[in-house]
């Protein structure tokens, strides 16, 4: 077999085929052939989740069954709740990863374990946060996955704000062979069980160069009192050769359409907000100086703050959406599986003698 040398980080390398998600020539994120900008405006989170997993949009009965399945499997085992309360782990992503790994699933069959994992993610996140804050898990009587999740983590039944979160979560649901998805597919290629593959993906998503970025953005953003302070900070960062959090993306070089869509959601939610003015000033300055577009995490962090969502949960919310993409990728990998095992170029010392 002839070995092929590829760029570090697999930049620009196509490693496999997928029918789940892509980015088209105009820079639009596309799920199963539909532009996400259209899905966000015309479909619910659950309809898009069904599309990602099953390949087509559901009819009324299919959607009803899908929602009922998520509700039925969503209850958390009392023994797991005791472990969560005993540990009181402040790192929600660490706790989510651990609970997904140790959970006593009803079956080892992947086709049943996958929906069971997905259904339990909101409850594990909500109970993990409640265990360290002393707050109660909000009443979860909403008829949808995203609606219940919003109620559980905020204690708020505001249907309008819940809808804004569900739209944001649609944008987080899937994004080609990103780092966490690729790790999940590597794990799946070994024929390991879904819980093990999801644990690998969650550990990867947690990193600050991937899903963990959105939680850090709000820290620097909140320090600005006005647009002038924000622009001055951007100038100082760039002049000293440092990065500005929330800018740049390996796929989107001119504009991240997801970020622009979230900015539009912010304008609908609170058109006169100071936060929006500051965000747009930062976006304009970074583009002027470095030609780097704002990415999804930049505006998502600000929107979630306006929706009353605790900052400690930002990355976990990313995970609660992306698990549907992971479900689809796990099954797609196994549908035509080959163990993912690349080679490496050895650059260490040679011919050493004891």
Active-site annotation, residues: 210, 249, 297
Q: CA of 24: how far to CAs of 11, 29, 38, 291, in Å?
A: 18, 7, 14, 21
The Cα 112–Cα 108 span in angstroms is 8
For tokens 């995203």, the residue is 146
Residue 83, token pair as written in the block = 């472990």
CB 211 within 8 A of CB 130: no
Residue 241, token pair as written in the block = 């050769």
The Cα 161–Cα 308 span in angstroms is 9
User: DSSP assignment of 81-131, as one string?
Assistant: HHHHHHH--S-HHHHHHHHHHH---S---HHHHHHHHHHHHHHHHHHHHHH
Query: In the chain, what is the straight-line distance between the N-terminal and C-terminal CA atoms, in Å?
Result: 33
The Cα 288–Cα 231 span in angstroms is 11
Q: Which H or E element spans position 22?
A: strand 21-23
The Cα 221–Cα 300 span in angstroms is 12
The Cα 222–Cα 295 span in angstroms is 18
The Cα 159–Cα 141 span in angstroms is 12
CB 314 within 8 A of CB 271: no
Per DSSP, what are the bridge partners of residue 22?
Answer: 30
């Amino acid at each position: 077999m002839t070995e092929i040398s590829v760029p570090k980080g697999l930049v620009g390398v196509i490693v496999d085929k997928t029918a789940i998600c892509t980015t088209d020539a105009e820079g639009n994120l596309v799920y199963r052939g539909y532009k996400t900008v259209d899905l966000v405006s015309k479909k619910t989170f659950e309809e898009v989740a069904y599309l990602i997993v099953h390949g087509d949009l559901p009819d009324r009965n299919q959607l009803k069954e899908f929602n009922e399945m998520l509700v039925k499997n969503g209850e958390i085992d009392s023994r797991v709740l005791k472990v969560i309360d005993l540990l009181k782990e402040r790192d929600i992503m660490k706790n989510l990863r651990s609970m997904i790994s140790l959970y006593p699933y009803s079956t080892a069959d992947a086709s049943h374990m996958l929906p069971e994992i997905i259904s339990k993610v909101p409850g594990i996140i909500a109970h993990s946060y409640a265990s360290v804050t002393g707050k109660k898990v909000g009443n979860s009587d909403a008829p949808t996955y995203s609606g219940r999740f919003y109620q559980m983590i905020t204690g708020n039944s505001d249907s309008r704000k819940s809808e804004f979160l569900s739209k944001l979560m649609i944008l987080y649901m899937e994004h080609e062979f990103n780092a966490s998805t690729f790790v999940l597919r590597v794990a799946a290629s070994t024929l390991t069980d879904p819980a093990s593959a999801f644990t690998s993906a969650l550990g990867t998503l947690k990193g600050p160069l991937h899903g963990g970025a959105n939680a850090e953005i709000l820290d620097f953003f909140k320090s600005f009192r006005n647009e002038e302070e924000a622009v001055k900070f951007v100038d100082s960062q760039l002049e000293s050769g440092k990065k500005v959090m929330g800018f740049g993306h390996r796929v989107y070089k001119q504009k991240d359409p997801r970020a622009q869509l979230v900015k539009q959601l912010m304008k609908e939610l609170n058109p006169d907000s100071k936060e929006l003015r500051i965000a747009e000033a930062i976006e304009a300055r970074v583009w002027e100086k470095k030609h780097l577009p704002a990415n999804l995490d930049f505006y998502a962090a600000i929107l979630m703050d306006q929706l009353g969502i605790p900052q400690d949960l930002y990355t976990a919310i990313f995970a609660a959406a992306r698990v549907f993409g992971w479900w689809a990728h796990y099954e797609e990998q196994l549908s035509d599986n080959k163990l993912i095992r690349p080679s490496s170029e050895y650059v260490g010392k040679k011919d050493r003698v004891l």
